[in-house]
Amino acid sequence: MRISSFSIHPVAVADPPLRSSYGRHAPYALRTILVLTTTDGITGISEAHGGDGSLAALEAVRPLVEGMDPFHLHALWEKWGKPSTQGDRSQTWLVPGENPHDARTRAFAAVEAACLDIIGKAVNQPVCDLLGGRARDAAPFSAYLFYKHGGGGGLGPDARDDEYGECLTPESMVRQCRQMIATYGFREIKLKGGVLEPALEIETIRLLRDAFGSTFPLRIDPNCAWSVETSVHVGIALQEELSGGGYLEDPTSSMEGMAQVRRQLLAQGIDTPLASNVAVTGLNDVVPAWGEDAVQVVLSDPHYWGGIRAVQRLSFLCEALGMGVSMHSNNHLGVSMMIMAHACAASPAMRFACDTHYPWQSAQDEVLAGGRVKFVDGAVVIPAKPGLGVDLDMDQVARLEERYHQLPYRKRDDAEEMRRHVDPSWQRVLPRW
């Protein structure tokens, strides 16, 4: 069995004006759908980050993939996938998917998922069962809350309903969370912070705790918006609220900054774990982060960490080190949703609910045949179908691809979007507080 066709579909997906320390989401998020076909007619699908950078990386790997045996992934890993040890791989300044130092690793990850989908279909097994077998039958995700402006994303006739409305206050975030939990059944909660004054974000977390109680673990992620001092202040203020399965994610930038926050919190008797997908972005970063006690929960990602097997390796490494492991998310469609679910199911040590942006996309822009992935009690059940367990609706792909080609931008730039809509002089300043 050989790969005989390699087909790349850049797509644009309506995305609400979500806020983070990077700025504001543009009306359309960019993603890439990859379709591989084999000589015996099996199709494997995948999803990757979007825009020119991702497309170029996929085009560059294409000659290695055409003609390849989909089982022979390690050979491609050695030639192409291995994370670079050169350059700054941290995500401090670059949004995930825009870091040139992991462009090849991300392209490998996209190819790996499509190959695993092919293999699963060839041998009639779900992807997670090709990788040592499921450690769980359903992958739990958390309610991923965002401060946001009004609007559901998209432009003109493509504009989408805004089911969540504007949310720029602590009170409205409780409403957003109730609504999301009512729809998806999530049992853990993550707040994207770094947007409002820290006092307001502290207040938001407190209101969430009041509203949902201590059985819903709480996390906050300001994407490095805070100084060490502010991070410690928030850690102290939210000692109670972030306990019991919660964590404080990337409060400040750099391994050294994270280690300082950890030391100062421990000195106060507070052992809230620090999570990160910014200071640690590859297997080579984990042991240093562990050595400095800068990170206690590593946030994997089957896209930029180099695939589902790379997430498994990370999961076993974290377990060996006594670190926790969870999963980071970017805007994504249903194919990535299933890649993430299989990665979680096949990683025994992944015991936190993972992140997903999936609630922020809608059926209108889903590329899956049969519509959106369904959640049961906040979890994605591994389908009783081979491979990733989902198929593409190629009409939808064509529609979103046409839209992509009409867009004036080819990369994610949340700062530009802030300047356009919120503050013409806006710059990303770290730390902001």
Q: Is 162 exposed, middle or buried (0-12, 13-18, 19+ CB in 10 A)?
A: middle
Catalytically annotated residue among 9, 25, 121, 192: 192
Contact status: 130 vs a copy of itself (CB under 8 A):
yes
Q: How far is the CB of 111 from a copy of itself (least distance, A)?
A: 12
State the DSSP code for 277: S
Q: How far is CA 52 from CA 56, 187, 397, 414, in A?
A: 6, 37, 18, 16
- Identify which range of 175-183, 312-320, 333-341, 351-359 contacts a copy of itself by CB under 8 A: 312-320
Asked if residue 283 lies in contact with residue 309, where contact means CB atoms within 8 angstroms, the answer is no
Q: Is 121 noted as a catalytic residue in this protein? A: no
Q: Is 192 noted as a catalytic residue in this protein? A: yes
Asked if residue 104 lies in contact with residue 81, where contact means CB atoms within 8 angstroms, the answer is yes
For residue 262, which phi and psi values (nearest 5 degrees)? -60, -50
In the shown chain, the binding pattern of residues 245 to 274 toward a copy of itself, with x for contact by CB under 8 A and - for none, equals ------------------------------
Contact status: 317 vs a copy of itself (CB under 8 A):
yes
Q: List the one residue from 73, 337, 388, 392 that touches a copy of itself (CB under 8 A).
A: 73
Contact status: 122 vs a copy of itself (CB under 8 A):
yes
CB atoms within 10 A of CB 292: 16
Tokens of 14: 């309506």
In the shown chain, the binding pattern of residues 280 to 299 toward a copy of itself, with x for contact by CB under 8 A and - for none, equals ---xx-xx--xx--------
Toward a copy of itself, which CB reaches closer, 128 or 400?
Answer: 128
Catalytically annotated residue among 9, 328, 332, 342: 328
Q: List the one residue from 149, 348, 351, 409 that touches a copy of itself (CB under 8 A).
A: 348
Nearest to residue 392, comparing CAs of 23, 44, 1?
44
Asked if residue 101 lies in contact with residue 87, where contact means CB atoms within 8 angstroms, the answer is yes
Per-residue DSSP letters for 199-214? HHHHHHHHHHHHHH-T
Contact status: 125 vs a copy of itself (CB under 8 A):
yes
Contact set for a copy of itself, span 13-52 (CB under 8 A): none
Q: How far is the CB of 349 from a copy of itself (least distance, A)?
A: 9
Tokens of 194: 């770094």
Asked if residue 98 lies in contact with residue 411, where contact means CB atoms within 8 angstroms, the answer is yes
**Alpha-carbon span 201 to 147, nearest angstrom:** 10
Q: How far is the CB of 64 from a copy of itself (least distance, A)?
A: 13
Toward a copy of itself, which CB reaches closer, 1 or 200?
Answer: 1
Q: List the one residue from 7, 39, 59, 123 that touches a copy of itself (CB under 8 A).
A: 123
Q: How far is the CB of 140 from a copy of itself (least distance, A)?
A: 16
3-state SS assignment for residue 218? strand
Per-residue DSSP letters for 30-80? EEEEEEEEETTS-EEEEEEE-SHHHHHHHHHHHHHHTT--TT-HHHHIIII
Q: How far is the CB of 305 from a copy of itself (least distance, A)?
A: 12
Q: How far is the CB of 83 from a copy of itself (least distance, A)?
A: 9
Q: How far is CA 396 from CA 155, 207, 371, 401, in A?
A: 17, 40, 10, 8
At 1, the amino acid letter reads M
Toward a copy of itself, which CB reaches closer, 68 or 225?
Answer: 68
Q: List the one residue from 77, 108, 141, 375 that touches a copy of itself (CB under 8 A).
A: 77
- Identify which range of 54-62, 64-72, 238-246, 374-382 contacts a copy of itself by CB under 8 A: 64-72
Q: List the one residue from 313, 410, 421, 432 that touches a copy of itself (CB under 8 A).
A: 313
Tokens of 193: 């912070």
**Alpha-carbon span 47 to 102, nearest angstrom:** 16
Using CB under 8 A, list all residues that contact a copy of itself. Answer: 69, 71-75, 77-78, 122-123, 125, 129-130, 132-135, 283-284, 286-287, 290-291, 309, 313, 316-317, 320-321, 346, 348
Q: What is the set of active-site residues?
A: 192, 328
